[in-house]
Amino acid sequence: MKKIIIALSIAFSFAVPSLAYADQAACEAKAVSKDGKPLYGAAKDASIKKCIGDSKPNDCEAKAVSKDGKPLYGAAKAASIKKCEGGK
């Protein structure tokens, strides 16, 4: 039983980082110009950073709760998210 647990923990430790690389690889594939040519240098880095940032879940939505812990809805939720994001 101990060997199985150790084997699974090793397998999962290698699986989790590969998921992050899969997202980055997908974003690298999307890093193309309007003409369909691949981007290079700073433009490619910016495109990948934006793509990875867009794919991450929004923490501000999770924080949009009332004082008693219930989730906010409507205008209150929108105002809370806007305040959390810094008024973008």
For residue 73, pLDDT over 60 is answered with yes
Q: Between the CA atoms of 45, 50, 55 and 57, what dihedral angle is there, to the nearest 10 degrees? A: 120
pLDDT score at 18: 44
For residue 71, pLDDT over 80 is answered with yes
Whether residue 55 contacts residue 47, with contact meaning beta carbons closer than 8 Å, is answered with: no
Q: Which of the four pLDDT bands, split at 50, 70 and 90, describes residue 81?
A: confident
Contacts 24+ apart (CB under 8 A), 81-87: 84/59, 84/60, 85/60
Angstrom distances, CA of residue 63 to CA of 4, 29, 44: 38, 33, 32
pLDDT score at 47: 86
Mean pLDDT of 4-33: 68
Residue-wise pLDDT tens digits, 22-70: 577 888 888 888 898 988 899 888 888 888 776 555 678 888 888 898 8
